[in-house]
Structure 1
Amino acid sequence: MRRLLALLAGLTLGASALGAAHARESRQERRDRIMSGANIAGVVAAEIAFAREAQEQGQWKAFRDFATKDAVMFVPQPVNARDWLKDRKEPAQAVDWDAHQVWSSCDGSLAVTRGGWSGPNGTHGVFTTVWRRQKKGEYLWELDQGEATAEPLKAPEFLEGNIADCPVGHDPRQRGTQPAVAKASNDGTLRYDWTISPDGKTRHFEVWMASGGTMKSVLNADFKVEG
């Protein structure tokens, strides 16, 4: 998590410089610009706060506090996270995690993070989390999944941030006019889907991002369904 904090500090400094360039815009214009554009720093900040609360206040409390009302998690079958987490007893030690990659829609309404996690007794694995921006600008997760791996996921030197191409004629100071679509960003530049194989043993997860005039697959992963 220290690496995420360092990245966030760098992104914050960059945001300060951009703020000077927009010093003359009105408060409403600034809010509309922030609310309509990609915000990698905001997603990273949400990931940091999520992981920190898990360590300081309890793993399942953090999952509840950062989940949307219809968030989905897999245990191993898909369940409504809030229902499953209600009154869930906290583990003696929470898992810790660190995002390695972030993909964001052009308008910033949807983002996906991927990284590694570590738990008690030397366990480790990989996770992916889908984040959706709320009406007030904060990010909450709407899908979370992970699995154990034989070896720890190797962390990159720097977190990789990826932003989808914007639609033609997109004005970053104006909110998108398209309605939110399940499993897609408001502007349609980032989409995801998950399916379970007919035999029930594998869950497939895929993310597509607008790039070069088409939707390209940027994350394609299979998770074993056990239990």
Structure 2
Amino acid sequence: MRLAVLAIALALAGCTSRSYSDDHYQRLMRSAPGAAQPSRIVARESEMVRAVQDEGRFSASLEFAASGAKVLSASGERLAAEYVPGLDDSEMVAAWSPGLVWMSCDGEFAVSQGRFQNATGDVGSYLTSWRRARDGDYEWLHNAAALDDPQPPREASSAVSDPNAIVVEGLESVDGNVSDCTAPTSAAPPVAEGSAATNSPDGTLSWRWGYSGSARIFRLHAFTEGRWSLVVDERWPADLRAAANQ
């Protein structure tokens, strides 16, 4: 099921973004039927971006992480609590914004995919998986990100010539999706590459992530329109030799 989900178009490095009230997000959430509301992931990501920007440190994102959350880095899988505080200034993400959300029918698990810009103005893409905590908020489980190579021209990457300029974007459409609320007719298709599958409790989302040769991979299957579909298939460079030499 595809839903029209509105999200904040976050301003990128050196800029600020327009913030919207909780009432605004509540109106968006009420527009989605049932327990699965992709707009809640959009709102949670916006909340996390604000925390990072307000506190001036990317480790503020750990306040939104599940216990044992992991990062799929270019040099190996890392515990987020150990990896994120060690990032240097050039690696820190200044801002990001989701463009795609997939959520299980029961609303317990979700995956978001979007774009980011780091502290030096370079841009890239990211993926984050989420689960609903006992208090009802969402906490992230896995994160993977990589810079574009080659980088697009700065004019095309939403960077601005004046780093002190304030850029206020309008609302952009986010592709929000919910898996079918009927029991899958079969197990998720097997995927040879990557780690063991992570499945939503209701069995309507299944993803694998890990390493294949010199690449990081993230593949998400969703049960939609009565069948399993590969809805995200991401592959980024990796260098596991770096991990072996540490």
Structure 2 length normalisation: TM-score?
0.69
Pick one of 224, 240, 243 that aligns with 1:211.
224
RMSD: 3.2
Post-superposition Cα deviations, 1:24-70, rounded to whole Å, max 9, x if no partner, equal xxxxxxxxx97xx2021221111001111111113332221111111
Give the Å deviation of 1:89: 6.7
The residue number in structure 2 matching 1:70 is 68
Equivalents in 2 of 1:188, 1:7: separation in Å?
34
Deviation per residue, 1:105-133 (Å, 9 max, x gap): 10010111111101233210000110111
Pick the structure with more strand per residue. Answer: 2
Which residue does 1:84 correspond to in 2? Answer: 83
Matched, 1:148 2:116: no
Residue 118 (structure 2) aligns with: 119
Q: How does 1:25-174 map to 2 (within 5 A)?
A: 37-76=35-74, 77-85=76-84, 88=86, 91=89, 94-149=93-148, 150-151=151-152, 157-168=172-183
Point out where structure 2 has 5 or more consecutive residues left out of the alignment. 1-6, 11-18, 159-170, 184-195
Distance 2:135 2:173 in 1: 29
Size of the aligned set, in residue pairs, is: 197
**Correspondent of 1:12 among 21, 26, 44:** 26
Q: Give me the whole-angstrom Cα distance separating, in 2, the residues matched to 1:153 and 1:214.
A: 36
How much does 1:15 deviate? 4.3
* Alpha-carbon contact 1:116-1:153 (below 8 Å) kept: no
For the 8 Å contact 2:73–2:145, the answer to whether it is kept is no
* Cα drift, residue 90 of structure 1: 6.8
Structure 1: gaps (5+ residues): 19-32, 169-180
Partners in 1 of 2:230 and 2:157 — Cα distance? 21
Partners of 1:58 and 1:90 within 8 A in 2: no
**Aligned 8 A contact 1:60 1:90 in 2:** no
The reply to whether residue 190 of structure 1 matches residue 205 of structure 2 is yes
Alpha-carbon offset, residue 83 of structure 1: 2.8
Residues 50 and 15 of structure 1, relative CA distance in 2, 3 Å threshold: closer
Given that 1:58 and 1:94 are in contact with CA atoms closer than 8 Å, whether structure 2 keeps it comes out as: no
Shift in alpha-carbon separation, 1:210–1:6, aligned structure 2, 3 A: farther
- Counting aligned pairs with the same residue, the percent is 25
| TM value normalised by structure 1 | 0.74
Q: Distance in 1 between matches of 2:138 and 2:203?
A: 18
3-state DSSP of counterpart to 2:173: coil
CA distance in 2, matches of 1:51, 1:45: 10
Write the letter of the residue equivalent to 2:177: N
Q: Which has the higher helix share?
A: 1
**Separation in 2 of the partners of 1:75 and 1:15?**
33
2:142 aligned counterpart, secondary structure: strand
Q: Determine the structure 1 residue equivalent to 2:9.
A: 3
CA–CA distance in structure 1, aligned partners of residues 106 and 215 of structure 2? 32
